[in-house]
Chains A and B, each alone.
Chain A
């Protein structure tokens, strides 16, 4: 970081956009064409609101159709999910338990590994080493989820069964969750490394002056100081785990059942949507509308989780 960069991001420049801060310098009256271009730019930015509105409407309209036939309470508390059977049942809990299991397993992999990687990169690695390791870690995020799913199905599942002797079938929540965890490592690592690197050096120096070694500094000074950002990273990881589709669609199985054990197979919310989309249910049928009811639940869940994460990021950015 050079001195100019520090100046630029100093408190005076912050909170004002690049040109606006310099507007006093501009003595030129706006030209006619420029107003039009400005409006175009503004319209492009406003499009994002339209997208959100579109998502809400396209989920809500069919979901309302669904909830007119299936009571919300039955949907949220029922323990049998069988929308395509002759004797249909619309309890979403089997999908929710499967999602909760895959998410929990993914986090038990992603959180320790992601934080460990971040702590190494931010506190221990020499700049050279870091310059090599960080991009390689980011490459992990570039592997498509379809390929991760295939890997879970064709390698991790059999390895769990044959090498470790865990009694899993072809499809299992466990294999899908583990691979999903590895997929999320870069997300957690990248954000929490940013948070740790943002901790002012003075804190580390103070800690060292008191005789702490690097481990103590990392665990007792840097980690608590970056905690808010780390929480944001973990929460974003949760959001990604809930929403991840292809890995669970390929490796977790398709049988909706209350999952009580990670070696079982199970259909997650996203897995159900993906499988259902493959079928040929008629537009407007109750079957078709279930897609959107589950989609709406998924949207609301991730929406809440995202907001928590964004809040946290803002808070930790303001601290320094």
Chain B
């Protein structure tokens, strides 16, 4: 989706007829194009500004150090921040190795012409576009199948999110592997390395920037996701630090959702403050991914 494969040569195209290029119709068209970009950027800026304004003086260290409370002036999001860390950490451990392994199989070893593999690819593409809330239903289905009574546990949430982002990791890793030139593999094979040695020592290291870009984007998506966790019952009042895989949890998006639902204005402010915190973290992760991608656009 974010592949940057634009040939830019046509921009050097000489535009001999300046007058036609500047005709009223053409100018209006260009203004419309600008306007459509402006909608996106103006909304982004308005969203950030209005949320910061609404958050007011709640943006402070108490947001990170205090536990939720029925009195908004004392409440903070400490368990939610820690819960997010636990859940995302576990999600990464579950999904990243699996996703990379699957991508390596599909890209390096699988026969792309076989019907089975084509179906596999179709399936992964489809999974990446299934609504996230469906993954919550999958998680509660799976957990009740293995007889777990209390579904609001870190490992349950991580399971739902890991399955949700697995297709995204697979697709972006495949793109990264595909960008490694064949000559690199051929050189390695010519030196007598086996196919697996080639993959492990040549192809994968060369694809690391692309893989990490995709992984960071996928994890940031998981970090901002609330819908699947709602189904697991993560919207509860938690006044302790989560401390393990079987511990109860809440996460920042869920906490924001909970506060958004409260009629008291104080909780609205808290929701805004937590939103600012979450957006800053996510934008930082996105920016990091974009920087890695731009830095690593290596010409072979």
Contact = CB atoms under 8 A, between A and B. Distances in A.
B71 interface: no
Given A48-B120, A154-B272, A243-B130, 10 more contacts: A1-B5, A48-B124, A48-B127, A54-B141, A58-B145, A116-B36, A136-B41, A142-B286, A189-B40, A204-B10
B275 to A, nearest CB: 5
B67 interface: no
Contacts of A58: 137-138, 140-142, 145
A166 interface: no
Interface string A181-215: 01001110111011001100100110010011111
A155 B46 CA distance: 9
A52 B123 contact: yes
Contacts of A197: 5-7
Given A17-B112, A48-B120, A146-B256, A291 B36 contact: no
B11 to A, nearest CB: 6
Interface of B: 1-11, 13, 15, 17, 20-21, 23, 25-26, 29-30, 32-37, 39-41, 43-44, 46-47, 50-51, 54, 98-99, 101-102, 104-113, 120, 122-127, 129-138, 140-142, 144-145, 163, 166-167, 170, 177-178, 180-183, 185-186, 189-190, 192-196, 198-199, 203, 217, 220, 223-227, 230-231, 233, 235, 253, 256-257, 260-261, 268, 271-272, 275, 278-279, 282-283, 285-287, 290, 294, 299-300
A227 B226 CA distance: 34
A146 to B, nearest CB: 4
Given A19-B199, A22-B186, A44 B105 contact: yes
Given A126-B11, A139-B286, A155-B50, A146 B130 contact: no
Contact of A213 (B17, B46, B167): B17
27 contacts: A16-B112, A17-B110, A18-B203, A19-B108, A19-B109, A34-B195, A38-B109, A47-B98, A47-B166, A59-B134, A113-B37, A116-B37, A138-B2, A140-B43, A143-B279, A144-B224, A148-B47, A149-B260, A150-B272, A182-B39, A213-B21, A213-B23, A214-B21, A273-B231, A274-B230, A277-B136, A298-B133
Main secondary structure of the interface of A (DSSP, over half): helix
Nearest to B233: A277
Interface of A: 1-2, 4-5, 8, 13, 15-23, 25-28, 30-31, 34, 37-38, 40-42, 44-49, 51-52, 54-55, 57-59, 61-62, 109, 112-117, 119-120, 122, 124, 126-127, 130-131, 133-151, 153-155, 179, 182, 185-187, 189-191, 193-194, 197-198, 201, 204-205, 208, 211-215, 218-219, 236, 239-240, 242-246, 249-250, 270, 273-274, 277-278, 283, 291-292, 295, 298-299, 302-303, 306-307, 309-310
B195 A26 contact: yes
B72 to A, nearest CB: 15
A202 to B, nearest CB: 10
B44 A139 contact: yes
Contacts of B51: 147, 150-151
Contact of A215 (B26, B54, B145, B198): B26
B260 to A, nearest CB: 5
Contact of A274 (B1, B133, B223, B271): B133
B227 A115 contact: no
Contacts of B225: 144-145
Contacts of A139: 44, 283, 286-287
A45 B105 contact: yes
B107 to A, nearest CB: 6
A147 to B, nearest CB: 5
